[in-house]
Amino acid sequence: MKVVILAGGFGSRLGSVTDLIPKPMIEIGGKPILWHIMKTYAHYGYKDFVICLGYKGNVIKDYFYNFAEHNCDFTVSLADNKITYHNHCAEDWNVTLVDTGLNTLKGGRIKRIEKYLDGDVHMLTYGDGVINADINELVKYHKSHNKMVTVTGVRPPSMFGEILQKEGRVLSFEEKPQASKGFINGGFMVFNKEMLNHLSEDADCDFEFNTLEKLAAEGQVMTFLHRKEWECADTVRDVDHLNKLWKNGQAFWKVWDSDQGDQKPSVKKNETEKKSGKSEKSYA
């Protein structure tokens, strides 16, 4: 089972932040949010990724091509051009990076990576959202209902803070409480490969407002309701909030490590060298 990540959009609501890097490379706690998403999937054993690239895709390619250099401490021997790494920071992931076009809509991007998908069931998500859902339970739910697509329904955080009060006295301020009503598609989807028959490689082939709507009308889309935390790095305020959670040890999505706060790579005694060069049933 492969994890398809849509990482080709312009991220226009982040303004000048995405002038130099694509949205999935926005950093949370010193790591791209894309890394956080992949760490979540890998925690549950899903380590085979296909990343759909578009806007500034070369930045994402460079990050993974030089992954060790981006994530490890190392010493460079200029005499023989060798690199010695001082800590173990490699992930046992398989990452396929595919240029799916600069202006291609999501449906076209998904269809264009079809040749990299083997097997009947795969996962799909966006490159800007974090969650603390149990991915194994999500997959189990998808396989239980025999429909074509499962989307994860989440309650979005409020745009505004909330005052908790009693009889006029302020008890506390909550910065971004979860909305109490209604669900939206938070990504973290599972789909049968059959879904790709409803897409085309055309740049204007949309996904949510075309394929999902039609499949939902045919009764082929189910919702995995997630009542815990989910957030999306859609604006600068969102990014600042996620960084604050990480800094304060409140990163709810950090399921791969029981200790919150800054990520500390484990150190191994042996150092490596290399030549430099590389359930409710509803649709939300």
pLDDT digits (tens, 9 = 90+) for 177-200: 565 567 899 999 999 999 999 999
Instruction: Return mean pLDDT, the chain.
Output: 86
Q: Which two tokens stand for residue 100?
A: 């799916």
pTM: 0.83
Contact 116, 98 (CB under 8 A): yes
pLDDT, position 283:
33
What is the Cα–Cα distance from 57 to 50, expressed in whole angstroms?
A: 13
Mean pLDDT of 122-129: 97
**Domains annotated on the chain, with CATH:** 3-152+184-275 (3.90.550.10)
pLDDT bracket for residue 261 (50, 70, 90): very low
pLDDT tens for each residue of 62-102: 999 999 889 889 999 999 989 998 887 779 999 999 999 99
pLDDT, position 53:
98
Own/partner contacts of 271-278, CB < 8 Å, gap of 24 or more, are 271/84, 271/85, 271/86, 272/84, 272/85, 273/82, 273/83, 273/84, 273/85, 274/82, 274/83, 275/81, 275/82, 275/83, 276/76, 276/81, 276/82, 276/83, 278/65, 278/66
Mean pLDDT of 217-235: 94
pLDDT, position 173:
57
